[in-house]
Amino acid sequence: MAAGEHTDSRHAVVVGGASGIGAATAHVLAQAGWRVTIADLTEAVPPEAGSYGAGTQAAGADVVGAHDSRIVDVTDEASVEALFADTAPDLIVTTAGVSTLGLVTDHDTAEFRRVLDVCLTGAFLVFKHGGRVVRDGGAMVAIASLNARQPGRGMAAYCAAKAGLVSLAQVAALELGERGIRVNTISPGFLVTPLTEPVLQIPGLTEGYAENSLTDHLGTAEDVARAVMFLAESPWMTGEDLVIDGGAQHRSYPDVLGLATKAFS
């Protein structure tokens, strides 16, 4: 099927689709004619305008009736298995993620494991159970991060989880390729989403991220959603990590921990 051609028969499952990048992805896919299942910790409703984060254009009315929703906990294997028990989607997108701050030598071990459980093991479970049922010739996309390749002080758990996710997806691409299934990751730079909004309360951090961009465009969740659509319709692209960060990877990463320590000490 050529890019730009859409049929209502195509089905996508968006894990973490109730807000942020996931909600924007559900919106873009629904607008393009896909039937979308939104899976999240709580039952999702059609997202309202602006619920993806600042700077987006989405309107909730555009996706009313275009999707159904399921409850899933990506840290619970039985929950993930149940999500895919009665479906054979053409596309699976996993966006679930959490983060925390702490120096390696001081990091709370339980917090470190929590971030890996959601960001890495959760994606593994989606690949494991979703990979069994996704249609031959279909696609899987996982949302990684610029932090998969660009470290930040105090971000050991998140950086490790996202770097592992990129490598995990490449292994999945190798193993699922014989069925024509393409597996890719997207590594966004900093976006304003419900996950990152608390971080923006740290004075100087927004300016630090803006200064890292080589463009005058601050990224939005919809930028990432459009990249998901690109990967869904790119038959010769698999095992890749698509970085969309305004060129931020070519500059130094803001000192998030330092700014946070200064703000709250």
Residue 158 known to be catalytic: yes
Contacts of 256 (CB under 8 A, 6+ apart): 101, 152, 153, 154, 155, 199, 202, 205
- The token duo for 109 is 């071990």
Which of 52, 158, 209, 253 does the annotation list as catalytic? 158
Q: Scan for tokens 């730009």, then name that residue.
A: 4
Contacts of 18 (CB under 8 A, 6+ apart): 38, 40, 41, 42, 44, 47, 69
User: What span, in angstroms and rounded, lies between the C-alpha atoms of 264 and 198?
Assistant: 13
CB 183 within 8 A of CB 167: no
Catalytic residues: 158
